Amino acid sequence: MLVKLGSSALRGLDGVLVEVEVDSHKGLPGQSIVGLPDTAVKESRDRVRSAISNSGLEFPPGYFTINLAPGHIRKEGPMYDLPIALGILSSSEQVFLKRAENTIFLGELSLNGEIRPVSGVLPICFSAQQAGTKKVIVCPENADEAALVSDLDVIPVKDLKEAVQYLNGAIDIPAHKVDLQSLFQDQTDYEFDFSEVKGQQHVKRALEIAAAGSHNILLVGPPGSGKTMLAKRISSILPPLSLSEALEITKLYSVTGLLGGGATLITRRPFRSPHHTTSDIGIIGGGRLPRPGEVSLAHLGVLFLDEFPEFEREVLEVLRQPLEDGRVTVSRALASITYPAEFMLVAAMNPCPCGNYTDPIKACTCSPYKVQRYWNKLSGPLLDRIDLHIEVPRLKKEELSSHELSESSKAIRERVMAARQLQEGRFAGTKMHSNARMTPKYLREFCRLERDAEDILKAAILHLKMSGRSYDRTLKVARTIADLEGSLNIKASHIAEATQYRCLAAKGGEYNV
């Protein structure tokens, strides 16, 4: 007897409908699973057997062939336990699948028959709904996540027995609903606030510009000058997420299995700060079936790389492509998958190995060669892609001992949001979100320079030996500065400020050596 049930497999951020076919015939007892299953799927054999007998149901005699179609897609993870168990029960007529039309089943079984949560439910449900699925049966822990998808009935069942009773019509389970609007509240209470940072006005200004245009920024300064402290507060001045952005980020975290702790929807921009021992695969993403890396987990948020030159050179170089494209394609033998990676890079570093190179009080103990080698870790092309370079000097003693609170994050955020609103209007109808992502075609259209501004830029090109990319990036930063001021055209002062943030790239990283 042949039984068919719906389920799904993940391919990147998309779900592919999978049909679980269970065929039984008489003979020696046993079962085999085919259809490119991985180890976790093969192990479901033992879980399903125990789960069925521990749920007060009978494991039917005979030999079972379980096929996960289509056969050319690799099936990963334990989420097929539930459909396999129900298929086996259905072949012995212990369950009837009348209520299972246009339905997908997702769930791992524990040995006592309980259904456990699986990862990737949100992207799977999105794709399934688009493919015409009407109903999804998941465990209660996954129900909130699945219910984020509209026009999909989410039936939460806690164990195998309940699933059987529901399908047999013995009990009714109402579809689970979540209130998207109440989940998606403007959550702007941040742990850190800019008012806690003393002094460093010019750095805060640079960070404000970076946040307003989603520009990449590099902070250079001696130890203890507040680089890390400043960087950690960037989230607090970024504009809140839109609903579609929040869903996009939540999908990424769902695939990675990082959506734990009762969180249903990620409502804040991510802030990722991987340690400098992280590998290039960890940053970009990878694995046999590629999983998102740090650049994708920081999508629409901040990727903070502290101690920038301490990262392996390969790690820094792999950042180049996603910085430019806003997405990253990871190809492996089994699959080639593209993940979004529109992040804002915030890097922090010391000016030399001992850290005191630019310090007016402490003496630097590094030889010029050592300093140069330190800076050589950062290639020209990489520095070229960082829009703003800013020095964070040691705080003066008056600043250190002052008790005055500086401007709060809220005030800065309001200016940032106003600037972003201008950008939204400008890029309405395109795929771009911010000035930093402006394509060359729009660059000419939106970055009109006033006469004297053009003169300054021409001089800067010559003097700073700007590359084509450097030129583009300067224009984009100037555009953001003008947006912050609410100015339609780019004025001389905007260009002047933008060029001063690019002094490092011009020197190709030779920091005054």
Regarding 37 and contact with other proteins (CB under 8 A), the answer is no
Contact 395, 389 (CB under 8 A): no
Nearest distance, CB of residue 431 and other proteins, angstroms:
51
Binder of other proteins out of 2, 34, 56, 61 (CB under 8 A): 61
The one segment of 26-34, 304-312, 347-355, 407-415 that binds other proteins by CB under 8 A = 26-34
DSSP string, 347-413: EEE-SSSSS-TT-SSSPP---HHHHHHHHHTS-HHHHHT--EEEE-PPPPHHHHH-------HHHHH
By C-beta, is 42 or 275 nearer to other proteins? 42
Query: Which of 12, 15, 37, 62 forms a contact with other proteins (CB under 8 A)?
Result: 62
**Token reading at 172:** 């009714």
Q: How far apart are the first and last CA of the chain?
A: 79
- 164 CB-contact burial (10 Å; exposed 0-12 / middle 13-18 / buried 19+): buried
Site string for other proteins, 281-300 (x = CB under 8 A): --------------------
Span from 30-38, 204-212, 385-393, 405-413 in contact with other proteins (CB under 8 A): 30-38
- Is 98 near other proteins (CB under 8 A)? no
Minimum Å gap between C-beta 69 and other proteins is: 22
Closest CB to other proteins among 55 and 216? 55
Surface-to-core class of residue 349, CB atoms within 10 Å of its CB (0-12 exposed, 13-18 middle, 19+ buried) = buried
Q: How many residues bind other proteins (CB under 8 A)?
A: 11
> Do β-strands 217-220 and 388-391 pair in parallel, antiparallel, or remain unpaired?
parallel
Question: Given the complex with other proteins, which of 43 and 424 has the nearer CB atom?
Answer: 43
Q: Is residue 27 part of the contact set for other proteins (CB under 8 A)?
A: yes
Distance between CA atoms of residues 312 and 172, nearest Å: 57
Residue 30 near other proteins by CB under 8 A: yes
**Six-digit token pair at 383?**
């520095």
> With binding defined as CB under 8 A, does residue 45 bind other proteins?
yes
Stretch that binds other proteins, among 60-68, 123-131, 151-159, 380-388 (CB under 8 A): 60-68
Q: Supply the minimum distance, in Å, between the C-beta of residue 23 and other proteins.
A: 15
Residue 55 or residue 235: which is nearer to other proteins going by CB?
A: 55
DSSP E strands in 99-225: the ranges are: 103-105, 108-109, 115-116, 135-138, 153-156, 217-220
Nearer of residues 26 and 72 to other proteins, judged by Cβ: 26
How does DSSP classify residue 309?
A: G
Where do we find the tokens 């609410």?
486
Q: Which of 54, 63, 329, 471 binds other proteins (CB under 8 A)?
A: 63
Min dist. Cβ of residue 30 to other proteins (A): 3
Phi, psi of 438 (to 5 degrees): -65, 135
**Of positions 29, 140, 224, 260, contacts other proteins by CB under 8 A:** 29
- Got the DSSP string for 227-275? HHHHHHTGGGGSPPPPHHHHHHHHHHHHHHT---TT--S--S--EE---
Residue ranges of E strands in 113-237: 115-116, 135-138, 153-156, 217-220
Are the CB atoms for 134 and 103 separated by under 8 Å? yes
Q: What share of the chain is helix, strand, coil (3-state, %, to 5)?
A: 40, 15, 40
Q: How far is the CB of 61 from other proteins (least distance, A)?
A: 4
Q: CB under 8 A: which stretch of 59-67, 73-81, 380-388, 410-418 binds other proteins?
A: 59-67
* CB-nearer residue toward other proteins: 25 or 177: 25
* Residue 31 in contact with other proteins, rule: CB under 8 A: yes
Q: Is 28 in the site for other proteins (CB under 8 A)?
A: yes
What does the alpha-carbon distance between residue 123 and residue 9 come to, in Å, rounded to a whole number? 10
Interface with other proteins includes 260 (CB under 8 A)? no
Min dist. Cβ of residue 50 to other proteins (A): 13
Strand partners, 17: 8
Q: How far is the CB of 25 from other proteins (least distance, A)?
A: 9
Identity of the residue, 67 or 356, whose beta carbon is nearer to other proteins in the bound complex:
67
| Identity of the residue numbered 74 | R
Residue whose CB is less far from other proteins, 49 or 410: 49
Q: Which is nearer to other proteins, 35 or 221 (CB)?
A: 35
User: In the complex with other proteins, which residue's Cβ is closer, 25 or 463?
Assistant: 25
What is the closest distance, in whole angstroms, from the C-beta atom of residue 231 to other proteins in the complex? 54
Kindly tell me which residue out of 26, 441, 444, 451 binds other proteins, with binding defined by CB under 8 A: 26
Could you tell me which residues come within 8 angstroms of residue 319 by beta carbon, excluding any fewer than 6 positions away?
Answer: 283, 295, 345, 382, 385
Give the shortest CB-59-to-other proteins separation in angstroms: 8
CB of 114 to other proteins, least distance (A): 23
Chain mean position to CA 398: 41
Distances (CA, A) of 333 to 328, 330, 340: 17, 10, 20
User: What sign does the CA torsion over 251, 253, 256, 257 have?
Assistant: negative
User: Measured from the CB atom, is 60 or 393 closer to other proteins?
Assistant: 60
Phi, psi for residue 55 in degrees, rounded to 5: -100, 10
Closest contact distance (angstroms) between CB of 386 and other proteins is: 56
Cα(285)–Cα(255) distance, integer angstroms? 12
Contact 348, 207 (CB under 8 A): no
Q: Compose the 152-171 pattern: x for residues touching other proteins by CB under 8 A, - for all others.
A: --------------------
Q: What are the residues binding other proteins (CB under 8 A)? A: 26-32, 45, 61-63
